[in-house]
Amino acid sequence: MAPIKSDLPQGTLDLLMLQVIALGPVHGYAIAQRLEQVSRGVVQVPEGSLYPALHRLENRGLLAADWKETETGREAKFYRLTRKGLKQLETETADWQRLIDAIGLILGMADGGAQ
Amino acid sequence: MAPIKSDLPQGTLDLLMLQVIALGPVHGYAIAQRLEQVSRGVVQVPEGSLYPALHRLENRGLLAADWKETETGREAKFYRLTRKGLKQLETETADWQRLIDAIGLILGMADGGAQ
DNA sequence: TTCTTATACCTCGTGCTTCTATGCATTAAC
DNA sequence: GTTAATGCATAGAAGCACGAGGTATAAGAA
């Protein structure tokens, strides 16, 4: 039996990562932890999704990276948002809002039940 | 006219279709129109996505279909929700709520901004 | 030293969903 | 009988998430 998994819908991962990185430079490993914490465990990002996404975003010019030392004395790649990335974040956030709004209309259209 | 980009996240199409079908038997063509109308044009489902999804859902036992005549006198395949489909709809709706809730937490966590 | 654990990075292959493009059949209008 | 709208369907390609695996460093335990 397949355990119930709440996978992230395709496309939303980029948005969430941009949001976390917008708060300040972080390295990949920390991004995943941050997402999991803030979402109270609902959003979990395995590394097999994380790093390809990071490279994808960097490749599109939305992120820039520098190697720095972490508090634990390790070298890590710290990502930060570029100007283009910030713009993308704003656009995608607006799109997301509009979309869940529309979906809300659809999901609520039936309902006698209100609530 | 700014083109409205629908680009549904993966997995949500099934949910939306289940919801529309839950309201009563409809044929595929009408499902797409209904989704577009109710979402005010935000959600657009091309036929190349629609019919495969329909078959996928039927294949999983969530939908059942009968050929009937439309008001225009044409034969069309009317889909309806099975018991299993209804259950799936409820589950997916709950999952969706939990997810956009979590994403809302993440998107709202920063906000320095203020537009 | 060596082993283990935790941190931190990365890639490949698989599978699923979606989109673009296209074709076929039927009905109504001309 | 040709055109347009309706209605169903498939094929090919592209994109994305994920699991499994690999590398390397630091710190503490044996």
Read off the tokens for A96.
């997301």
Q: Which residue is nearest to nucleotide D12 (CA to C1')?
A: B48
> What are the tens digits of pLDDT across the range B68-83?
988 888 889 999 999 9
Going by pLDDT thresholds of 50, 70 and 90, the confidence category of residue B110 is low
Read off the tokens for B49.
């996505």
Compute the Cα dihedral for A94, B47, B13, B26 and give only its sign. Answer: positive
Rounded CA gap, A91 and B53, in Å? 29
Give yes or no for residue B3 having a pLDDT over 80.
no
Decide if B5 is inside a domain. Answer: no
Going by pLDDT thresholds of 50, 70 and 90, the confidence category of residue A112 is very low
Flag the least confident range among A3-7, B45-49, B72-76: A3-7
Strand C bases contacted by the protein (CB, 7 Å):
7-13, 16-23, 26-28
For residue A74, what pLDDT is reported? 85
Q: Find the angle CA(B74)-CA(B78)-CA(B81) to the nearest 5 degrees.
A: 170
Please report residues of A whose CB lies closer than 8 A to that of B10.
Answer: 9-11
B83: domain CATH number?
Answer: 1.10.10.10
At residue A28, the 3 state secondary structure works out as: helix
For residue B76, what pLDDT is reported? 92
Decide if A115 is inside a domain. Answer: no
Determine whether the interchain pair B95/A6 forms a contact, defined as Cβ–Cβ distance below 8 Å: yes
At residue B69, the 3 state secondary structure works out as: strand
Decide if B7 is inside a domain. Answer: no
Contact B78, B27 (CB under 8 A): yes
Q: Find the angle CA(B102)-CA(A58)-CA(B105) to the nearest 5 degrees.
A: 10
Decide if B1 is inside a domain. Answer: no
What total of structural domains would you count in chain B? Answer: 1
Range of the domain at B58: 12-108
Is B101 an interface residue toward A (CB < 8 Å)? yes
Q: What is the mean pLDDT of chain B?
A: 87
Q: What is the mean pLDDT of chain A?
A: 87
Decide if A65 is inside a domain. Answer: yes
> What are the tens digits of pLDDT across the range A53-76?
999 999 999 999 999 988 888 889
The count of CB pairs under 8 A between chains A and B is 92
- The continuous run of DSSP H or E covering B36 comes out as helix B28-38
Question: Which among B42, B95, B109 has the least Cβ separation from residue A98?
Answer: B42
Rounded CA gap, B115 and B111, in Å? 9
* DSSP 8-state class, residue B77: E
> What are the tens digits of pLDDT across the range B91-107?
999 999 999 999 999 99
Decide if A7 is inside a domain. Answer: no
Number of residues assigned to chain A: 115
Going by pLDDT thresholds of 50, 70 and 90, the confidence category of residue B114 is very low
Going by pLDDT thresholds of 50, 70 and 90, the confidence category of residue B55 is very high
Give yes or no for residue B8 having a pLDDT over 60.
yes
Nearest alpha carbon to residue B89 among B11, B24, B18: B18
